[in-house]
Structure 1
Amino acid sequence: MDSLSINFLLEDLKNPDALVREQATRKIWRLWFQQKGISGLEKIDYSQKLMDAGEIGTAEEVLTKLIQAQPDFAEAWNRRAFLYYSVGNYHKSLDDCQMVVQLNPMHFGALHGMGLCYAALKKYREAIQTFQQALKIQPYSLVNQKLILECTIKLS
């Protein structure tokens, strides 16, 4: 990944212009998905089609094999974290999200996912902290702002 390009895009996430932020977000996701070229992207796309078809176990196998083959492919970990979250396996999802953030500390999607997992596990303080980390990268993220408020209310 071209770190100079990604740094400019990350700065654009802080731009007051919503269109600039939306374009930067799309470009960042594209870079993350394409990190390992067409082969990695095809496997991620295939796993998504399997998930959409309800073939969760097969989708998990595809992603796990991709992770084993390319353990530094952050988006493969992130997609498996999403899969685990979608079936209510919050602990496994959290583990994978943590790996994503270890590989890519600016991965706002994984930070958001971690916050969702913590909230689902009723660990609201941890959820708030994680959503706040995501907001440092995407300060205009209304969903993370809303989730911080919801978690704060649940603490009272």
Structure 2
Amino acid sequence: MKYLAFVLFATPVVASQCPPPPDHAEAQDALIAQVQVAPDPATAQDLSNQLWELWADAPDEVAQEILDRGMRKRAGWNLLGALEDFNTLIAYCPDYAEGYNQRAFVSFLNQDYAGALPDLDRTLALSPRHIGALSGKALVFIGLGRDAEAQDMLARALELNPWLPERDLYRPPTVQEPEGDDL
């Protein structure tokens, strides 16, 4: 562990050193299928927590330490420190979706909604079924006053997990009667 700390603080991290992110596609798909039919909020929350464990499984020990450190800083409202860690993680592992998602979350907490969008787009490009990024993007759109896009994004997230806490923000589209001659 001392060697790991030395590596993290004494040498620059280089993207070519980062291995590919773990492939959790099968496990993620299975958990999404289960949460879609979960019988109650508690079961759905447990399944959601398992999804977060998959997304937060970094490519290697160095990336995991950077991610965990950034998340601890974010949880303690050291947003600048968290941002620095997530920037480091992205530089080290540019193909790891959670680095972008966590940096977007820091931008969201700083109310930099426009700044969060590119990171959410990159997260979803790397991990299209990342429910947290989908719901996060919906919240960013709400923050930007882009309600139609927020509703579309919430609909996508709720298709994957109908138990999301943000489900109360969703307003289903209203069906308008076609105009025509009344008989």
Shift of 1:116: 0.6
In structure 2, what is the equivalent of residue 10 of structure 1? 32
> Which runs of 5 or more residues in structure 2 are unaligned?
1-22, 174-183
Corresponding residue to 2:83 among 46, 60, 73: 60
1:51 aligns with 74
Q: Answer whether contact 1:12 1:20 (CA < 8 A) is retained.
A: no
Cα deviations by residue, 1:35-77 (Å, 9 ceiling, x for unpaired): 4243322212211232344432232121111101101111111
The TM-score normalised by the length of structure 1 is 0.86
Aligned pair partner of 1:129 in 134, 148, 152: 152
Q: CA RMSD in A?
A: 1.9
Checking the alignment, whether the CA contact within 8 Å between 1:34 and 1:40 is kept in structure 2 is no
Match of 1:148, as an amino acid?
Y
| 2:63–2:92 Cα contact (<8 Å) kept | no
Please say which of residues 65-74 and 14-23 is displaced more in the overlay.
14-23
Contact 1:33 1:75 in 2 (8 A): yes
Provide the rounded CA distance (Å) in 1 between the counterparts of 2:56 and 2:35: 18
- Give me the TM-score of the superposition, normalised by structure 2: 0.74
Taking a change above 3 Å as real, the CA distance of residues 15 and 35 of structure 1, as seen in their structure-2 partners, is farther
Higher relative contact order (CA 8 A, sep 6+): 2
The CA distance in 2 between the partners of 1:12 and 1:60, in whole Å, is: 33
Map residues 4-153 of structure 1 onto 2, 5 A cutoff.
4-18=26-40, 19-141=42-164, 143-149=165-171
Q: Percent identity?
A: 24
Note the C-alpha offset of 1:10: 1.2
Indicate if the aligned counterparts of 1:74 and 1:100 stay in contact, CA closer than 8 A.
yes
Task: Give the number of equivalent residue pairs.
Answer: 150
Structure with bigger gyration radius: 2
- Structure 1 or 2: more helix by fraction: 1
Instruction: Please give the secondary structure, in 2, of the residue aligned with 1:13.
Output: helix
